[in-house]
Amino acid sequence: MQALDKQPVTTLKGVGPRSAERLASIGIETVEDVLFHLPLRYQDRTRVTPIGSGRHGDHLVINARVDKAQVHYGRRRSLLVQVSDGTGRMLLRFFHFSNSQKNGFSKGVRISCFGEVRRGPNSLELIHPEYRLLSEDHEFEVEESLTPIYATTEGMQQQSWRDLTDKALALMDAGGALRELLPESLLPATTAISLADAIHTLHRPPPHTAVRQIEAGEHPAQQRLVCEELIGHQLSLLKLRQQQKSQNSFRISHAGKLAAGLYHQIPFQLTSAQQRVLQEIDTDLQQKHPMQRLIQGDVGSGKTIVAAFAALQAIEAGYQVAVMAPTELLAEQHRKNFETWLQPLGIQQAWLTSRLKGKKREAVLEQVISGEAQIVIGTHALFQKDVIFKRLALVIVDEQHRFGVHQRLALREKGNSGGKVPHQLIMTATPIPRTLAMTAYADLDLSVIDELPPGRSPVKTVLVSDQRRDEIIDRVALACSRGRQAYWVCTLIEESESLQAQAAEETANQLSEELEGIRVGLVHGRLKAEQKELVMSAFKAGEIDLLVATTVIEVGVDVPNASLMIIENPERLGLAQLHQLRGRVGRGEQQSHCALLYKSPLGETAKQRLAVMRDTTDGFEIARKDLEIRGPGEVLGTRQTGEMEFRVADVVRDQKLLPQVQQMAQQILDKHPQAAEALIARWVGHREKYGAV
């Protein structure tokens, strides 16, 4: 029999062109695709429950007789049918009903219903249950397996899904080839069940199956598929990495005089974590294949200086370096830092953002193409078509983790010249939990700066209700009068830049009225880049005491003298974002403070989340909590791209499988390359194209 992944859905009886089109719209084209369209959840209709033991919230089947039926004219016209089975009474409530439907409920008729039990005004109720009227000689029937509920698309009822999957399962059971792709020897004991069995069980769980076990994702049949999906995903990234490693890059020898010059110049010693990471980079750069390295480090751990040393190594070998930041504000700051560090060493630096236009831009492009510019710093404008490098050997991307794998690839392609691909160094804004990094960044090598520069005392954080806003304002006044600087961060749920800007503007006005003698500045996303720069430099120079800002200052801004931060409505932000914001203080010698000025009353979850912020300043710990609370898409910033969306796996729930998955994927790639391809096709499918870039 033909392999099921080669049989179009139309080979199933009853699937015509129209259904095929509907199925295609949700990515289902073959019989195998149907089999992998697994139920979202299940209903237990395998048992009849006596009415007397029904509870609020239960989903259950009851068999009963109709006592009476009447139309009730209340706020909404409804049909009320009272039924009983000798153990109790229950009310069926319908809002939509026809006359003939109503007339069917005559006294004494036998009825079988399925629905969710609700507490009604006088008794337990089933709202709009599914029901069947039974004749006297008709046996009560129950389902033989748990009833699957499928994710669906317009025009497909649950019943159609059941019919469709029935047919696909029948084909599979009749010996249709569903390829077993995982080599049996590799499967962990707990998941050692055949793929066909796993699929069958999940579509039609036998009556004794514990729904709760399935709902928790812990059923062996699920774990079997979860394992396979995670392996498929891992393989796609490992393959990508393999491809990268087969490309050629520039061999760059050891760091030399320039690095020594920079060491000499900076007023601090590198931490041993920074040194270790630099060592890793140094080794990578000497290889003939491109480096693909991700540096993780907590906020303030000193990633930028590490990037500067890496840049010097490439520059000394005669190559160009590009440094890309996600926002102008941050790019601007890198420009200043690198200028301070590199200019004394005689290095030519160029600057490129999308607002550079006309003659100035042409002049910069000329410096880049001639090779005169040794290091080019900017935003994504660096990678526009007309920006041509003479000999780009290293691309440094800061705070990249809001971009997904395809952006990484696109970026690398742009740097491709003469068959050589530049080395890539990526720095994340905030730490990512290890398990998640293993899944999302399996195509990269990881370095971790797990140490903060000495002398930093952790920021002290307090939670304050907005009812005590005045006290906080007094505190700001006191701090500023003593020469300290502060941030006041305004947040809004709306993504709209202009609303955010407006809110910040109002706050700034109000605060400058209340805080006499205190110099208040304002920065938000709607300001022109030059204005932003002016404000930031004034703040950095100590000419502004209190900087009112939107979350534009979230990433990277570095003003060591600022030691107080107020965050309004922190309950609206994710933990990683709060951590990132708070990282703007605690950069200097003095003890820093952060007040989370929340809107009361706080819900229970919000309370817990803010308590995490109060109780720890460890970014890795916070990232773990954030992952639990918000899931991987949010933590990685890839929710929109769907990159970390799995069909059966759940990175948080299934993280214990990840170390095994990683090993198995590597073994499969090494020893069973064909199975690897097929696994990628099965589980990653449309996303595989990224691997081909």
Interface residues with ligand ADP (CB under 6 A) are 268-271, 274, 297, 299-305, 453, 558, 560, 587
Residue (325 or 676) nearer to Mg ion, CB? 325
Peptide bond before residue 570 is cis, with ω within 30 degrees of 0 = no
Whole-angstrom distance, CA of residue 310 vs CA of residue 323: 11
Residue (556 or 586) nearer to Mg ion, CB? 556
Residue (255 or 325) nearer to Mg ion, CB? 325
Given ligand ADP, Mg ion, none, residue 550, with its beta carbon under 5 to 8 Å by kind, binds: none
Quickly list DSSP for 489-534.
E---SS--HHHHHHHHHHHHHHHHHHSTT--EEEE-TTS-HHHHHH
Instruction: Give me the helix-helix angle, 529-540 and 328-342, nearest 10°.
Output: 50
Interaction with Mg ion in 555-574: which residues (CB under 5 A)? 556
Residue type, position 302, single letter: G
Given ligand ADP, Mg ion, none, residue 297, with its beta carbon under 5 to 8 Å by kind, binds: ligand ADP
Q: Which residue from 312, 338, 314 is spatially nearest to 324, judged by alpha carbons?
A: 338
Given Mg ion, ligand ADP, none, residue 301, with its beta carbon under 5 to 8 Å by kind, binds: ligand ADP
Given Mg ion, ligand ADP, none, residue 570, with its beta carbon under 5 to 8 Å by kind, binds: none
Residue (222 or 304) nearer to ligand ADP, CB? 304
Instruction: Give me the helix-helix angle, 328-342 and 257-265, nearest 10°.
Output: 100
Residue (34 or 273) nearer to ligand ADP, CB? 273
Residue (326 or 556) nearer to Mg ion, CB? 556
Given Mg ion, ligand ADP, none, residue 204, with its beta carbon under 5 to 8 Å by kind, binds: none
Given ligand ADP, Mg ion, none, residue 268, with its beta carbon under 5 to 8 Å by kind, binds: ligand ADP
Q: How many residues bind Mg ion (CB under 5 A)?
A: 1
Q: Which residue from 605, 652, 645 is spatially nearest to 628, judged by alpha carbons?
A: 652
Question: Binding to Mg ion by residue 326, rule CB under 5 A?
Answer: no
Query: Length of the chain, please?
Result: 693
Whole-angstrom distance, CA of residue 56 vs CA of residue 43: 16
Residue (330 or 411) nearer to ligand ADP, CB? 330
Spell 243-262 as b/e; 16+ CB within 10 A means b. Answer: ebeeeebbebeebeebbebb
Whole-angstrom distance, CA of residue 7 vs CA of residue 345: 66
Residue (148 or 583) nearer to Mg ion, CB? 583
Q: How far is the CB of 577 from ligand ADP (least distance, A)?
A: 14
Q: Which stretch binds Mg ion (CB under 5 A): 76-84, 138-146, 186-194, 552-560?
A: 552-560
Q: Which stretch binds Mg ion (CB under 5 A): 58-66, 236-244, 337-345, 549-557?
A: 549-557
Quickly list DSSP for 177-190.
B----S-GGGS-GG
Q: Which residue from 567, 288, 624, 602 is spatially nearest to 434, judged by alpha carbons?
A: 624
How many helices and strands, by DSSP H and E, does the chain display? 23, 21
Question: Binding to Mg ion by residue 302, rule CB under 5 A?
Answer: no
Q: How far is the CB of 269 from ligand ADP (least distance, A)?
A: 6
Q: Which residue from 541, 69, 557 is spatially nearest to 549, judged by alpha carbons?
A: 557
Q: How far is the CB of 459 from ligand ADP (least distance, A)?
A: 13
Q: Which stretch binds Mg ion (CB under 5 A): 24-32, 331-339, 470-478, 554-562?
A: 554-562
Residue (317 or 444) nearer to ligand ADP, CB? 444
Phi, psi for 495 (deg, rounded to 5): -75, -20
Side-chain-side CA neighbours of 661 within 13 Å: the count stands at 28
Given Mg ion, ligand ADP, none, residue 270, with its beta carbon under 5 to 8 Å by kind, binds: ligand ADP
Q: Which two tokens stand for residue 481?
A: 């009068």
Q: How far is the CB of 324 from ligand ADP (least distance, A)?
A: 14
Residue (79 or 578) nearer to Mg ion, CB? 578
Q: Which residue has the tokens 């697994």?
A: 38
- DSSP-assigned letter for residue 684: T
Given Mg ion, ligand ADP, none, residue 611, with its beta carbon under 5 to 8 Å by kind, binds: none
Q: How far is the CB of 554 from Mg ion (least distance, A)?
A: 11
Q: How far is the CB of 293 from Mg ion (least distance, A)?
A: 16
Question: Binding to Mg ion by residue 297, rule CB under 5 A?
Answer: no
Given ligand ADP, Mg ion, none, residue 453, with its beta carbon under 5 to 8 Å by kind, binds: ligand ADP
Closest residue to bound ligand ADP by CB: 302
Residue (95 or 268) nearer to ligand ADP, CB? 268
Interaction with Mg ion in 466-505: which residues (CB under 5 A)? none
Q: CA torsion angle for 226, 230, 236, 240 (degrees, to 10)?
A: 180
- DSSP-assigned letter for residue 417: B
Question: Binding to Mg ion by residue 619, rule CB under 5 A?
Answer: no
Whole-angstrom distance, CA of residue 632 vs CA of residue 202: 25
Closest residue to bound Mg ion by CB: 556
Q: Which stretch binds Mg ion (CB under 5 A): 5-13, 522-530, 531-539, 550-558?
A: 550-558
Range list of β-strands (E), 233-336: 292-297, 320-324
Q: Which two tokens stand for residue 425?
A: 């160094």
Residue type, position 472, single letter: I
Whole-angstrom distance, CA of residue 440 vs CA of residue 637: 11
Residue (301 or 500) nearer to ligand ADP, CB? 301
Chain residues binding Mg ion by CB under 5 A are 556
